[in-house]
Chain A
Amino acid sequence: MSNKIYGVLLVGGYRSHQENYASQFLLDPRCRLVASADDANAPAERVELNQQLAKQLDLPYQDLETALQRTDVDLVSLCPEAERRAEIAVKCAKAGKHLYLDKPLAPNPRHARQIVEVVQETGVKNQMFSNVYCGWAQQAKQTLNSRQVGDLRAIHCDITFAKGHPGSAPKGKRNESGERPRYTFVEAKPELFDIGVYAVSIINWLTQKRVKSLVATTSNYFFKEHAACDVEDFGTIVMKLENETTASVSCGRFGWTSHPLSGIQKLRLVGTERSICFDAHQPRLEIYTAEPAFQPPVPHPLDPMGMWGGTTVDAIPKKTWKTVGSADWIKREFQAFVDAIENDTPTEMTAELAAHSVEIITAAYRSAATGRMVELD
C-alpha cells in the first residue's frame, strides 16, 4: 500500500449529494479535500450553494479550469446538476482526474455516452454512487454466484423512499410525455430516474446482462410538487434481459410516515431451485418505548421532499427500527473507489454499467408514454 494522499476536488455544494460525498472522502485517511470548483457559467444560485459548502469545509472555491490545473487534485467528486454532469465530467477526465460520479450518470443516453467515451479514452477510474456495497446487495451477489437459487429466472427490486408529505397529488392518471427535457427542480425529482436508478443499476450489476425489452408505468400518486413539475413520484418497470430472465422494479417516494424507517429496499432472486429475499432492514431490532413518536419535519420551502441533509436538520429521527450491521456500507462505497485508484483495479459501478441504466430508464419513459413494450438495441 502506498502512502499517497489523494487530493479531492469537489464540484457541487449544499442541496446536492456533495453534502454526503465530501464527508465520506473526509473520513478516508488516504484523502484530503483540496478545493471546491464549478464551471464559470454555472447558475448563480448553484455557485452560491457551492461556496456555502466550501466555506463550511474551509476550502478555497475556484473556477473549474483553474482547479483542474492543480497538480494536487487526483480525483473529482462530481455532483453538479444532472444536466451539466457530462460536460463537467468530460473536462475533468481530459485533465486526467479520476471521477466519482453522482447518480444518475446523466439525464439521457447521449450525455451518458459522452462520459463513457471520455473515461475509455483517458483511462481514468470512474465509479457512480450506488447501493452495490450495501449488505443486502453483497449477499445477493454471493447467493447468485453460489447458485443457491439454481438458474436465475427472475430478479425483482423495490426501492421507495419514505420522505415527503403525501396526500396532495391531484387525482387521475399521469399524462406521460416520454421525455425528460429537464431533470433538476427545487421541489421534486423524476423518481423513476432518481430512485429507480438504484434498483435498475443493482439488477445490471448482479446479472451483468443487458435489457432487451421493457414495459413501464409512471404515476403521480402522492405529491402535488411532482405533478406541478410534470415529473412522476412513482414508477414501475418490467424487463426482459438478454438471457430471457425477467426483472422488475418499483420505485418512488411515498411519504415520511409510510414506512417505519427510510423506506422499502428489497431484492428478490427467483431461481429454478429457490426464491430468496434480501431486505435492507433485516436483520433488525424493533424498539417500542415511551419516547415521542417520529414527527415529519416541517416542509422546507427549498426542499419540501426532504432530499438534502442540510435542509432537514430539525427532523426527529425514526428510532423504532434499528437495522443490525448495516451502518458502514457507505464508507465501503467510497473506500472502494480509492482502493481502485490505489491498486489500479476495476470499480464495480462503472460509467459503462451506469450508462446502461440511463438507457433503460429513458426507454421506460417511452414505454410509459405509449403504453407499449420498448425494445432496446
Chain B
Amino acid sequence: MEQLRQSVSTEIQSGRIGAPVFLRCFYQISKSNPLEDAVATVTNLADSWITSQIEYTHTQRDDCQITTLLRFTDGESALLCVNQLDQESMIDFHLIGSRGTIYHQARIPLEDTDVK
C-alpha cells in the first residue's frame, strides 16, 4: 500500500493530472481485519494525495461496510467505501485531478494495509 501511495504521489507531483480534486475509493477487506483500520488506511491515502485539510467528515456504517464523505478546506472531496466480506482484499479507486485522472484496481496482500 505504501508503494501504491508513493506511486500516485509521484504522478501528482509531476503535474500530469493537475491538482487532485476528488478521490473515489472502494477498499474491500477480509473479515479478519477491523473495518475502522481500513477506513483509516484509505482516509490516509486521501489525506496524503489531496493537499488541503479535511474539514468535514460524514460517515454511514453498518455491520459490513462504512461509507465516508470527506470535504477538504479548498473544496476537494472524497468518497471512501470500505466493506468487510469473505472475499479477496482489493482496492479500486480513481483520483480525479483538474486536468486528468488516475485509475487503479488491484488485489491487496492482507499484510500490506498500513499507510501512515
Chain B contacts for A238, CB-based, 8 A: 58, 60, 67, 69, 79
Tell me which of A4-12, A46-54, A57-65, A167-175 binds B.
Answer: A167-175
Contact of A173 with B75 in the complex, beta carbons under 8 Å = yes
Chain A contacts for B92, CB-based, 8 A: 277
Interface readout for A154-169 with B: 1 if CB under 8 Å, 0 if not?
Answer: 1010101000001101
Contact of B60 with A246 in the complex, beta carbons under 8 Å = yes
Q: Report how many A-B pairs have Cβ atoms within 8 Å.
A: 109
Chain A contact residues (Cβ within 8 angstroms of B): what range? 35 or more
Contact of A259 with B69 in the complex, beta carbons under 8 Å = no
Pick from B58, B71, B74, B79: contact of A250, CB under 8 Å = B79
Shortest distance in angstroms between B75's beta carbon and chain A's nearest beta carbon? 3
Q: Which chain A residues (140-194) contact chain B, with CB distance < 8 Å?
A: 153-154, 156, 158, 160, 166-167, 169, 171-174
Main secondary structure of the interface of B (DSSP, over half): strand
Contact of B64 with A371 in the complex, beta carbons under 8 Å = no
Q: Which residue of B lies closest to A213 (CB)?
A: B60
Pick from B18, B22, B67, B85: contact of A275, CB under 8 Å = B85
Q: Which residue of A lies closest to B105 (CB)?
A: A277
Contact of A250 with B18 in the complex, beta carbons under 8 Å = no
A36 on the interface (CB 8 Å rule)? no
Given contact pairs A154-B81, A219-B75, A275-B83, A167 touches B65 in the complex (Cβ within 8 A): no
Q: How far is the CA of A264 from the CA of B22 in the complex (A)?
A: 13
Contact of B67 with A154 in the complex, beta carbons under 8 Å = yes
A130 on the interface (CB 8 Å rule)? no
Q: How far is the CA of A290 from the CA of B23 in the complex (A)?
A: 33
Tell me which of A266-274, A300-308, A316-324 binds B.
Answer: A266-274
Shortest distance in angstroms between B107's beta carbon and chain A's nearest beta carbon? 14
Contact of B79 with A254 in the complex, beta carbons under 8 Å = no
Shortest distance in angstroms between B3's beta carbon and chain A's nearest beta carbon? 24
Q: Which chain B residues (17-73) contact chain A, with CB distance < 8 Å?
A: 18-19, 21-22, 24, 26, 28, 56, 58, 60, 62-65, 67, 69, 71, 73
Q: Can you sample 18 A-B contacts with CB below 8 Å?
A: A153-B62, A154-B65, A154-B67, A171-B74, A219-B75, A234-B21, A234-B22, A236-B22, A238-B67, A238-B79, A246-B60, A248-B67, A250-B22, A264-B94, A272-B64, A273-B86, A274-B85, A275-B28
